[in-house]
Chain A
C-alpha cells in the first residue's frame, strides 16, 4: 500500500465551482501534512501546511482527520489559474517528506 494515496483525476470543473480533493496516508506516526501545487513542467511549490485539525487561507481550506487518516483540500470559487496538479505530502519527525502522485485539476471557462 502506498504511503500517501490520491485520486489522480483529472477533475474538470467550471470557473466559480467548489472542488475538494482527498488524500489518505498509511503512516499513523505522520505528524505534519502539506499541500503542494505543481504547474505543468514546473517545480512543486508549497500551497498550505496542515498542522492541527486544519486551516484556511483565502479560497483554500485544508482539513485533517487523524482518526481516519485523511487530509482534504477544498478550493472555493475556482479560478482558471487554479489549474495545476495538487500534491499531498506527509511528514514524520525528521524523516523525508512523502509525496502522493498528485491530483490534476483543470478549471474550465
Chain B
C-alpha cells in the first residue's frame, strides 16, 4: 500500500482557504486518493475522493497532478467548525484493501 506523508499541523483563520498537501510517491496505477475529516471522539467522515486531475464537491476540492505522487485538499473559506484532523489515504479498489490511516494533519482555524 502506498505510504502517505502529510504535515502534522497547520493553523488558519476564518474565511481563509486551507490547502493540505499529501505526498504518496509510490502510488500504484489502481490506487485512488481519499480524504477524511475527523473531529475529537467521532468517526472519520469522508470528504472527497479522486483518481487524477481535479475533483470538486460541495465542501472541498482535490487537486491531483499528472504524476499522481501528491495530492492537495483545498478547503475554501474555512470556519471554526472546520477545526479537525484531516487524513489522506491511498487505496486500491481491489479486494483486501487495508486502508491505513497515517497521522493526519491537525488543522486549527482561529477567529
A, B from the same assembly = no
